[in-house]
A = this chain, B = another copy of it.
């Protein structure tokens, strides 16, 4: 195995272990020692890739967003809806995503608290901007403000679903979220073809 390939594998092993431990214990209670043990790497190897627990947490969060962004289709609003359901499926099954939301909530009370939300807001702003350029949004909608609101509301809905059903009803609640906000976001022409429950993306994913 080449040196570089080994480094990539080590980094990935640490990320998965960190996501699992943070997902199980929460960000504050998770220790570097347990992550090292779980990943079966040396302390030096972990610190080579991640100089601090904070850096590790950020990498876990960045990891979340990479695989879930859908390729552009003819409707960027439907892409945004589908994306939200893919994230929902990830929250139900993927320890990396589960860890990310715990980090976001728990570090809300600490310094630099917006970091965990930032990636999601960027993605949503991009999608809403493209949707606006294609005439899918109402003229009064500001894509950046709508994206901030959407990410905040989504965070609340997924926390509520976690409390209500351990996220069993998350897809349904995300559908409700879209049903409640689409009338204030989408143009009448777009409304007619949008499915708040997603384009079966979650089955296909």
Contact = CB atoms under 8 A, between A and B. Distances in A.
A180 B180 CA distance: 8
What are the 9 closest A-B residue pairs judged by CB atoms, nearest first?
A156-B156, A152-B160, A113-B163, A183-B184, A153-B153, A155-B156, A183-B183, A152-B156, A152-B157
Given A105-B108, A156-B159, 13 more contacts: A26-B109, A105-B105, A108-B163, A109-B162, A113-B163, A149-B157, A152-B157, A152-B161, A153-B153, A154-B156, A155-B156, A180-B181, A183-B184
Nearest to A165: B114
A164 interface: yes
Contacts of A161: 152
Interface of A: 26, 102, 105, 108-109, 113-114, 117, 145-146, 148-149, 151-157, 159-164, 173, 176-177, 179-185
A182 to B, nearest CB: 7
B151 A160 contact: yes
A158 to B, nearest CB: 8
A117 B159 CA distance: 11
A53 to B, nearest CB: 19
A149 B162 contact: no
Given A151-B160, A156-B156, A160-B155, A176 B145 contact: yes
Nearest to A161: B152
B177 A153 contact: yes
A155 to B, nearest CB: 4
A195 to B, nearest CB: 16
A182 B184 CA distance: 7
